[in-house]
Amino acid sequence: MILLRMALCSLLARRLTVGLTIFSVALSVALFLGVEKVRTGAKASFGDTISDTDLIVGARSGAVQLLLYSVFRIGNATNNVSWETYQDIAARPEVDWIVPMSLGDSHRQFRVMGTTAEYFQRYKYRGGRALAFAQGRPFDDLFDAVIGADVAATLGYGVDDPLVVAHGLGSFVNHDNQPFRVAGILAKTGTPVDRTVIVSLEAIEAIHVDWQSGAQIPGQATTPDEIRQMDLTPGAITAAMIGVKSRLQIFSLQRSINQYPEEPLLAVLPGVALQELWGIVGIAEKALIGVSAMVVATALLGMAAMIFSGLNERRREMAILRAVGARPLTIMGLLMLEAVLMAMIAVLLGIGLLYAGLWVGRPYVDAAFGLYLPMEPLSSREAVVALGVVLAAAVTSLFPALRAYRLSLSDGMTVRS
């Protein structure tokens, strides 16, 4: 108890330098724990990009490739799935619901996806959250379009604004004869839906009426009124999301689709494919952890440097303590206790800064980036990190404490000119 009182009094006597050191360590701890919160939040948000969907079906390729183009709108499909095959799968008794997706066109670098109105009810993210409309409504006309939040923010679109789809990706050829109208704007989700223009499957067929083999037929321009009278049943789709009636049927249905005799197909479980994809892109989280760990280590070394630099100023203090009966181990313990107290205060302050930052910044991060950072107690991993900082401070202070231990009484009492 006496040693604790001495340590506290010593820290208070040097409150300015001690306070700055504590604050630097606290910022480092807050940064490290903040990176950990962002890492776990990003991983959870990544895993929740699509939820409550049991299978994703597309042409046979790879699980990650299918996930990339069907969910993340990255890359292209190796082939399409015929409409007859889609209907055959939809008619299977295990299938509760199925939503088709048709990809290939774009609008000012944003992907255009054709689907059905059921997509807005069936697509779920972040553990079952449904899509919501910030403005407008789902499409109900052939040339209606629903745009994601990022599309609206980047291009400055509002409800009823015109929109022209370009043929293919990065193409300079537009479907000018069939302009769309923005019917609705989706609320921010933090998923690829934010960067997608969504139209009906029939609309995808409508804008390609005058096209053949990827090129527009010269001199042919069918009017929108004429197109509305046509049969716009698609010939093929890119992929489909499936929900099954019973979870026990997922693997049997997946196996049946993968062995489909009419054409090569691939059915993947979104969760498994997401974990595989995270294993590829998740190396960035290790880099973040490494950088933040280096920041904490630098702050602890700064604490050790402060203790070292203060030894010369405190040599007379140490000598007086020795003169009144303090043993060398007591001096050593005093310096180590001061470092541990500084680290404990810094950790507590860092945790406070972390939760204050979360409380202030969480709504903005969620709205701007779709990254959900829950206000939860420290996980066991984070608690171990906090404890590790205190233990590291004790170890770091051992070196200046050993030096103080070796200082002799006569050296401390000698007046140097």
Q: Give residue 29's pLDDT band: very low, low, confident or very high (50, 70, 90).
A: confident
Comparing C-alpha atoms, which of 412, 397, 411 is closest to residue 314? 412
Domain ranges of the chain: 2-46+283-413, 55-268
Of the pLDDT bands very low, low, confident and very high (cuts 50, 70, 90), residue 213 is: low
The model's pTM: 0.73
Least confident residue range of 107-111, 209-213, 234-238, 347-351: 209-213
Return the higher-pLDDT residue of 167 and 255.
255
pLDDT at 32: 83
What is the chain's mean pLDDT, rounded?
Answer: 84
Quick one: average pLDDT of 328-347? 80
Most confident of 10-24, 214-228, 349-363: 349-363
Strand partners, 166: 106, 174
Instruction: Name the pLDDT band for 408 (thresholds 50, 70, 90).
Output: very low
Angle, alpha carbons 336-395-5 (nearest 5°): 15
Answer yes or no: are the C-beta atoms of 271 and 125 closer than 8 Å: no
* Predicted local confidence at residue 270, as pLDDT: 92
Residue 417's pLDDT band, with cuts at 50, 70 and 90, is very low
**Which of 63-67, 176-180, 285-289 has the least mean pLDDT?**
285-289
The predicted pLDDT at position 147 comes to 97
Bigger pLDDT: 337 or 252? 252
**Average of pLDDT values for 75-88?**
92
**What pLDDT does residue 409 have?**
47
In this prediction, residues 48-52 reach a mean pLDDT of 87
Confidence of residue 282 (pLDDT cuts 50, 70, 90): low
Percent of the chain past pLDDT 90, that is, above it, reads 39
Task: Please say whether the beta carbons of 114 and 199 come within 8 A.
Answer: yes
d(CA 157, CA 177): 20
Give the pairing of strands 110-115 and 196-200: parallel
Q: Is the pLDDT of residue 413 over 60?
A: no
Task: Give percent of the chain above pLDDT 70.
Answer: 85
Q: How far is CA 126 from CA 101, 109, 178, 243, 360, in A?
A: 21, 26, 35, 17, 21
> What whole-number distance in Å separates Cα of residue 111 and Cα of residue 105?
6
- Asked if the model's pLDDT at residue 314 lies above 70, the reply is no
Contact assessment for residue 25 and residue 350, using Cβ atoms and an 8 Å cutoff: yes
> How is residue 18 written in tokens?
């001690």
Q: Indicate if the pLDDT at residue 199 is higher than 60.
A: yes
pLDDT greater than 80 at residue 382: yes
Task: Read off the pLDDT of each residue in 26-48 and give the average, rounded to a whole number.
Answer: 81
**What phi and psi values does residue 389 have, to the nearest 5 degrees?**
-65, -40
**Among candidates 63, 81, 79, which has minimal Cα distance to 71?**
63
pLDDT exceeds cutoff 80 at 324: no
pLDDT range class, residue 320, cuts 50, 70, 90: low
Contact 339, 395 (CB under 8 A): no
* Stronger pLDDT, 108 or 44, i.e. the higher one: 108
